[in-house]
């Protein structure tokens, strides 16, 4: 015979379907002793709720929201594409995804957006935002209102309720370090490290990992202090220029944030020597083109499609208070070079 159903459960526990239902859905009106009897039966029969049937009966759709930064860059675009792809794929599974945007550097606006969500509109939310006190509070409120939360790409280490879906940024930094150490062969010289801001926790962690490996495996290289662009093209051009002027022996460049177009433009303007090793993050269209053309040596990638789907799975699991297949939700730190670049379109 097939899987046990609620009926089998009722028989095994010696109670009625109504009571099974009350226990399963944590409704009140059941004596503790009975609750335990039902749970014993669940374990004994190895009962698992049929979620399809449950959702069908409830005729409920999962309403999920992704909160993303409001500025547009190629990485965000990739995420949006992955979300829209997931949305079509999940039409079959009673899941609707929407996106809201808030300025990344305005914690109060972000918190406002979060606070504005009601249980009627949203069952779960994936939040991509730097950790700040207002955001942390807003996340706690969500939890209190019974809305599931995951931290998406940027971790929220102090919001316990928010599972993190993203890569280990320190390990990512170490990986870049190892590639930099090996790709530069035996050469000596300076290594530039560029990012938009070192305020972001991600950048700090990446830098930490990178430095550790460089110190250990490539002491021949001088790793310079992080250069911050603040996302400003003019400033970017200027600091890159200054970096090249001050260091005629640049052997490598680490582009630490996920949008490399402005920085690479500035590097192009300076004319980096062909043997200079350049490594960045995220497989954006620009990165793709540059990998193909050879002006970029490798990028560290977090599989955006996987990030999105993983978030959705985690959110659903939290809503259904089911266990998650943990290993499935671990995001890989991927290394992409010209040779192993996926052909096109959204990543796997």
Partner DNA sequence: TATTTTCTGAGGTACGTGCCTCATAAAATG
Partner DNA sequence: CATTTTATGAGGCACGTACCTCAGAAAATA
Q: Phi, psi (5° rounding) for residue 136?
A: -60, -45
Q: What is the DSSP letter of 131?
A: -
- Nearest approach, Cβ of 331 to a second copy (angstroms)? 7
- C-alpha span between 75 and 300 (Å, rounded): 13
Number of residues that bind a second copy (CB under 8 A): 59
- Nearest approach, Cβ of 316 to DNA (angstroms)? 14
Q: Which stretch binds a second copy (CB under 8 A): 32-40, 45-53, 67-75, 141-149?
A: 45-53
- Nearest approach, Cβ of 255 to DNA (angstroms)? 48
- C-alpha span between 1 and 45 (Å, rounded): 12
Q: Contact with a second copy (CB under 8 A): which of 40, 48, 242, 269?
A: 48
- Nearest approach, Cβ of 314 to DNA (angstroms)? 20
Q: Phi, psi (5° rounding) for residue 332?
A: -75, 150
- C-alpha span between 202 and 224 (Å, rounded): 18
- Nearest approach, Cβ of 66 to a second copy (angstroms)? 18
Q: Contact with DNA (CB under 7 A): which of 40, 54, 215, 289?
A: 54
Question: Is residue 331 close enough to count as binding a second copy by CB under 8 A?
Answer: yes
Q: Which does 19 bind (CB under 5 to 8 A by kind): DNA, a second copy, none?
A: DNA
Among 189, 255, 198, CA closest to 223: 189
Q: Contact with a second copy (CB under 8 A): which of 172, 191, 192, 278?
A: 172
H or E element: which one contains 18?
helix 17-24
Question: Is residue 120 close enough to count as binding a second copy by CB under 8 A?
Answer: no
Across-strand partners of 95? 62
- Nearest approach, Cβ of 35 to DNA (angstroms)? 7
Q: Contact with a second copy (CB under 8 A): which of 36, 44, 50, 157?
A: 50
How many residues appear in the chain?
A: 348
Q: Phi, psi (5° rounding) for residue 86?
A: -60, -35
Q: Which stretch binds a second copy (CB under 8 A): 148-156, 158-166, 181-189, 197-205?
A: 181-189
Q: Which stretch binds a second copy (CB under 8 A): 103-111, 120-128, 261-269, 326-334?
A: 326-334
Q: Which does 69 bind (CB under 5 to 8 A by kind): a second copy, DNA, none?
A: none
Residue 185's region, left for phi above 0, alpha for psi from -120 to 50, else beta, is left
Sheet with 163-165: strands ordered across: 95-102, 62-69, 124-127, 148-152, 163-165
Question: Is residue 186 close enough to count as binding a second copy by CB under 8 A?
Answer: yes
CA dihedral 262, 266, 268, 269 (to 10 degrees): 140
Question: Is residue 215 close enough to count as binding a second copy by CB under 8 A?
Answer: no
Question: Is residue 96 close enough to count as binding DNA by CB under 7 A?
Answer: no
**Residue recorded with tokens 């939890």:** 143
CB atoms within 10 A of CB 333: 17
Complex with a second copy: residue 30 or 150, whichever CB lies closer = 150
Q: Contact with DNA (CB under 7 A): which of 30, 41, 296, 308?
A: 30
Q: Give residues in contact with DNA (CB under 7 A).
A: 2-3, 5-7, 14-19, 21-22, 24-25, 28-31, 33-35, 49-50, 53-54, 56-59
């Amino acid at each position: 015979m097939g899987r046990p159903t609620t009926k089998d459960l009722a028989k095994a526990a010696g109670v009625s379907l109504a009571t099974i239902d009350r226990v399963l859905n944590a409704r009140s009106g059941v004596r503790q002793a009975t609750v335990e009897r039902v749970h014993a039966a669940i374990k004994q029969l190895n009962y698992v709720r049929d979620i399809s049937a449950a959702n069908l009966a409830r005729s409920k759709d999962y309403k999920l929201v992704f909160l993303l930064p409001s500025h547009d860059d190629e990485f965000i675009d990739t995420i949006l594409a992955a979300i829209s792809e997931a949305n079509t794929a999940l039409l079959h599974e009673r899941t609707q995804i929407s996106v809201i945007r808030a300025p990344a550097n305005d914690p109060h606006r972000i918190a406002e957006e979060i606070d504005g969500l009601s249980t009627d509109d949203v069952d779960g939310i994936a939040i991509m935002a730097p950790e700040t006190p207002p955001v942390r509070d807003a996340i706690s409120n969500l939890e209190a209102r019974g809305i599931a939360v995951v931290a998406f790409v940027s971790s929220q280490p102090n919001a316990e309720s928010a599972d993190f879906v993203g890569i280990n940024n320190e390990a990512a930094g170490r990986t870049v370090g190892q590639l930099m150490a090996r790709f530069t062969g035996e050469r000596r010289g300076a290594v530039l490290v560029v990012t938009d801001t070192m305020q972001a926790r991600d950048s700090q962690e990446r830098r930490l990992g990178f430095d550790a490996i460089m110190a250990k495996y490539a002491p021949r290289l001088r790793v310079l202090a992080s250069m911050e662009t603040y996302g400003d093209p003019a400033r970017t051009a200027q600091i890159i220029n200054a970096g090249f002027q001050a260091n005629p022996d640049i052997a490598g460049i680490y582009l630490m944030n996920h949008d490399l177009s402005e920085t690479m433009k500035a590097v192009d303007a300076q004319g980096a020597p062909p043997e200079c090793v350049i490594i960045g993050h995220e497989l954006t269209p620009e990165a793709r083109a540059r990998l193909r053309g050879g002006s970029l040596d490798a990028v560290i990638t977090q599989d955006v499609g996987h990030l999105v789907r993983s978030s959705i799975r985690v959110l659903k699991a939290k809503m259904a208070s089911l266990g998650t297949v943990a290993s499935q939700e671990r995001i890989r730190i991927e290394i992409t070079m010209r040779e192993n670049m996926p052909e096109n379109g959204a990543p796997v």
